[in-house]
Homo-oligomer: A and B are copies of this chain.
């Protein structure tokens, strides 16, 4: 019998199975070495999910360059835990790997380590890094992770303005392999130190005077000065504290591959690349959907977050909404006599208030997105209000007609007995729906404006938030209409 040969694992193979079969981290590592970094990251993640302690030795056994690439993947869930495990088992390997990672990812790891690795162990790793890396980390950790400074990379190509295209291209050929991107070249005045002279990450390299794309360089005359090539307008830049969402909007609007980050003095401190921006857009999107669902953003994948951490994120808003919704009980209390006299009124309470909530949820989702995309600004609230009033009236009239018809049909076919005044009941329900849907559309559309005006994120205007706001008023509208229409008959 011949020994079965092991095929290269597909991205869908289960490495933990192979690992448990053989028990040899280096064997698994050599198989993973055939895959792309993103796929190795996924395999390590799956391995860690089943046998948490197994992943660190495999990572250590990977070819060094591949291990660094894998660690540079923000998709590697649990990267901080994996490196913490490695820091305990093989501190030297851990330090070497971190030293080789890109500066923005190093900063990410140290940020995440705050809750995972004791201060003393973190300090030990930090002391093992080169002085430049230590200084760079200190600078980068000053910026919040959702700012340009927090996602910027500090590996990019800079050249002085007087270089020729030819010299610049040769320079790119030599240093290009080590930089995160070579497709934009930054022309910098008064460069502080030589490329190889070890400037710390995040330290300004000089004043940014021009940005030239590699494409522009390639099609330019080789003897031209690099400062004269391409678009001579002032380059588009962001500041370290610019929100990552604004960076994303800029990159997407101008179809950039990277945007330079400059400080208040115009000194270049880093660049944000398009792939970091995509990750940021996807993360923002997750946050927005979760907030719109009526909870705090998880910040961690659903599959990764601990039970109590998740309960905490959900219970806060749920309780706040519950407290707000308690006002409905108070409102209903005021109408207890009316309900006792005409129980039929109680039947339509859920139908009517939910219609207000639904129309409000629609309006809110429309306005949140229009504000996020910059289609609308704060000052447009009046334009929106004037549009939502006829919308709410029209939608309310549609639902009101359906609701009144339903009562008349049920009564006519004898499916339910609404009493002698069924026509007035139908009228009450129909008119209330017009009022409630109008109020829902208006509240739902104005809430994101109000939040932004007060300095909050308009995306905090969740569907349940709007529903809660509308429910109490919906009840008051309903019972007021009822009191007017049914006075002298049922009430």
Residues of A within 8 A of B (CB): 36, 38, 75, 169, 172-174, 176-177, 182-183, 214-215, 218-219, 233, 236, 248, 251-255, 257, 274-275, 277-279, 281-282, 285-286, 288-290, 292-295, 298, 301-303, 307, 310-311, 314-315, 317-319, 321-323, 325-326, 328-329, 332-333, 336, 339-340, 343-344, 346-351, 353-355, 357-359, 361-370, 373, 375-376, 380, 387, 390-391, 394-395, 398-399, 402-403, 406, 416, 437, 462-464, 467-468, 471, 475
Contact = CB atoms under 8 A, between A and B. Distances in A.
Contacts of A252: 275, 278-279, 282
Contacts of A169: 218
B215 A182 contact: yes
Contacts of A301: 370, 373, 375
Given A233-B36, A292-B292, A350-B349, A286 B373 contact: yes
Number of copies: 2
A471 B354 contact: yes
A355 B282 contact: no
B293 A362 contact: yes
A292 to B, nearest CB: 6
B349 A349 contact: yes
30 contacts: A176-B215, A252-B282, A274-B274, A274-B275, A274-B278, A277-B278, A285-B285, A285-B369, A286-B373, A290-B365, A290-B369, A294-B362, A295-B366, A298-B366, A302-B367, A303-B370, A307-B391, A310-B391, A315-B394, A315-B395, A318-B398, A318-B437, A319-B402, A328-B351, A333-B416, A339-B339, A339-B343, A463-B463, A463-B464, A467-B467
B375 A302 contact: yes
B311 A357 contact: no
A311 B218 contact: no
Nearest to A336: B343
A75 B325 contact: no
A318 B468 CA distance: 18
A347 B369 contact: no
Contacts of A351: 322, 325-326, 328-329
Nearest to A277: B278
B215 A366 contact: no
A289 B357 contact: no
Nearest to A358: B464
Given A215-B176, A274-B278, A289 B286 contact: no
B286 A288 contact: no
Given A255-B275, A328-B351, A322 B399 contact: yes
B278 A375 contact: no
A72 B363 CA distance: 31
A335 to B, nearest CB: 9
Nearest to A471: B350
Given A295-B362, A343-B336, A370-B303, A395 B325 contact: no
Given A295-B362, A346-B346, 16 more contacts: A172-B218, A177-B219, A285-B369, A292-B365, A293-B361, A293-B364, A298-B366, A301-B375, A303-B376, A319-B402, A328-B350, A332-B350, A336-B346, A339-B346, A350-B350, A463-B463
A468 to B, nearest CB: 7
A381 to B, nearest CB: 13
A340 B347 CA distance: 11
B464 A314 contact: no
A217 to B, nearest CB: 9
A253 B38 contact: yes
A336 B323 CA distance: 27
A319 B399 contact: yes
A466 to B, nearest CB: 9
B395 A318 contact: yes
